[in-house]
Amino acid sequence: MKHPVFLFHQDQWLKVGSFIGESLRQRLNLRILAMSVQSWHVHWVSAATEHPVPAVVKCAKDAVRWGLRPGRPIWSDGYDKRFCFDDASVHCRIAYVERHNARHGWPAKPWGFIQPI
């Protein structure tokens, strides 16, 4: 990495999730099925989309940079993407993300933009 690690403080997690979710919904018309924000990374599950993954990730990253205005880069290059090809794998991914929220004592779906499958 070119810059020191940037960590989201726990009191920013809900705000960061809002920046991402609202941007993905409004700009790309994505349906967000699950999301969790942590100190150094974000998980989300979205419904199928016509947008290429790099465009979706850029939208999310830009939303957080714009919202927080940290005055420095906050993301590293790259990301992990996983595709789900059946209902069982979608439900497993959603459960995985929601468990992260439960560990923080949050509801499984702490943002209003999260939609059912």
**Which candidate, 108, 115, 116, 114, places its Cα nearest to that of 20?**
114
Neighbours of 4 (CB within 10 A): 8
Residue 111: pLDDT band with limits 50, 70, 90: very high
In this structure, are residues 93 and 34 in contact, taking their beta carbons and an 8 Å threshold?
Answer: yes
SS (H, E, C) 8-55: CCHHHHHHHHHHHHHHHHHHHCCCEEEEEECCCCEEEEECCCCCCHHH
For 3-36, the pLDDT digits (tens) are 788 899 999 999 999 999 999 999 999 999 999 9
For 44-74, the pLDDT digits (tens) are 999 999 999 999 999 999 999 999 999 888 8
Q: Is the pLDDT of residue 1 over 80?
A: no
Q: What are phi and psi of 81, to 5 degrees?
A: -130, 140
Kindly state the DSSP code that residue 56 receives in the 8-state scheme: H
